[in-house]
Structure 1
Amino acid sequence: MALTPEDVVNKRFQPTKFREGYDQDEVDDFLDEVVVELRRLTQENEELRQRLSSGESAPAATTVIDTPAPAAVEQAPVVAEPEPTPEPEPAPAPVVAQAPAAPAVDEDDETSSTSSLLKLARKLHEEHVREGIEKRDALVAEAHATAARIAAEAEAEQRSKTAVLEKERQVLEGRIDELRTFEREYRTKLKGYIEGQLRELDSAGSSEAPATASFGN
């Protein structure tokens, strides 16, 4: 089926899954140019058809050119022995001039124009499809790169947090060891202090007992 300007105007392209695979303004401008060209070619074809139709319907005009017959040869004056009068030469047939025929429309031109329009539409479609595929591949590659980057950043952040937690754990374990050492030392010192106090009390009690006994006597 031949491509018409209305086909180009009503043509709609399917958008891609991720985003539109072409610049709508650029496509619309280009389609406007295609429509103008289609309409011009359609008008030219219509004018050629009308000229061809009018040329076929009108009978070919003919022009008849009458060539005057040559004048008859005058007879010689009558003498004793008259000469025979020569027969007049036959008049030449009238020349019929054919009117110039109407220029015929080359059907190959119309076929070539239609073929060119179809090739143009096919090329436009293939360009949009190729552009959509390229943008889709670019979006997929960008998505994969973004996912890989996010995963790498998450792993790096996790390793960093793990290192921080490990360092804090080591600090806490060191603090706990310090507290345990302090506890042992404190218990030892406290035990020594209490034992010293008890020994002093025992010594004081032993020294007071003889003094009390002598005072009673």
Structure 2
Amino acid sequence: MALTPDDVVTKQFQHVRFKEGFDPDEVDDFLDEIVVEWRKALAENEELKAKLAAYESGAAAPAQAAAPAPAAEPVAAPAPAPAPAADTSAPGAASAGIIELAQRLHDEHVAEGVAQRDKLIADAKAQAASIINDAETRGREEVAKLDRERAQLETRISELRNFERDYRAQLRSYIEGKLRDLETTATTSGSNPVSAIGL
């Protein structure tokens, strides 16, 4: 298992019942994993340092220069002269290769960052558009609901006004009818003598 510093930071140990602390076996196993990974990392680090030191000192260049030497013809005198030139140019070429690799990695990381930035911006714009659409839809639904309620209230108000008008008309005609009845009763009773009424 490749152990990362985050693994060390986030490691959770089980609590032991009936006593405080963590399970010692679990802690020991985890620490053993840390030691193994650390030793691997240190060994790899030392190996890389040794390779870098050998590369910088030019020890790797003779191995590269040795390959063309057997192919050379018996002309031995001019052969050693190009070898030092190869030795001095090899670290420069290696440095150029390392710089080119670093530049390529940098460009890849920058391109990846730009792509991720563009993706985040696109996602944010899509989310914003979705939120705006939802809000507009809810707003339209609320306006439509309020319009329906207003229409219902206006209909109810109209019905109540019609009912009031009809009620007033009926009440007026009823009262006028009663007044007419009262007047006719008064006029008919006024023409009869009092003795006819029974007084």
| TM-score between the two structures when normalised by the length of structure 1 | 0.52
Residue 162 of structure 1: aligned partner? 143
Q: What letter matches 1:163 in structure 2?
A: A
Indicate whether 1:40 and 2:50 are aligned: yes
Q: Distance in 2 between matches of 1:184 and 1:157?
A: 40
Judged with a 3 Å threshold, the aligned counterparts in structure 2 of structure 1 residues 180 and 190 are, in CA distance, closer, same or farther, namely same
Helix, strand or coil for the counterpart of 1:106? helix
Q: Deviations over 1:181-209 (max 9, x none)?
A: 11111011101110111112112212222
Deviation at 1:38, TM superposition (A): 5.9
Q: Percent identity?
A: 38
Q: What letter matches 1:43 in structure 2?
A: A
Indicate whether 1:107 and 2:88 are aligned: yes
Structure 1 regions of 5+ residues with no counterpart?
1-31, 53-100
Indicate whether 1:186 and 2:167 are aligned: yes
Indicate whether 1:209 and 2:190 are aligned: yes
Q: Distance in 1 between matches of 2:154 and 2:58?
A: 100
Deviation at 1:45, TM superposition (A): 3.6
Q: Please say if residues 41 and 113 of structure 1, whose CA atoms lie closer than 8 Å, have aligned partners that are also in contact.
A: no
Bigger proportion of residues as helix: 2
Residue 176 of structure 2: aligned partner? 195
Q: Which has the larger radius of gyration?
A: 1
Aligned length: 133
Say which of 115, 118, 125 aligns to 2:106.
125
* CA RMSD, Structure 1 to Structure 2 (Å): 3.2
Deviation at 1:130, TM superposition (A): 0.8
| TM-score between the two structures when normalised by the length of structure 2 | 0.57
Q: Distance in 1 between matches of 2:181 and 2:145?
A: 53
Alignment of 1:42-191 (within 5 A): 42-45=52-55, 48=58, 106-191=87-172
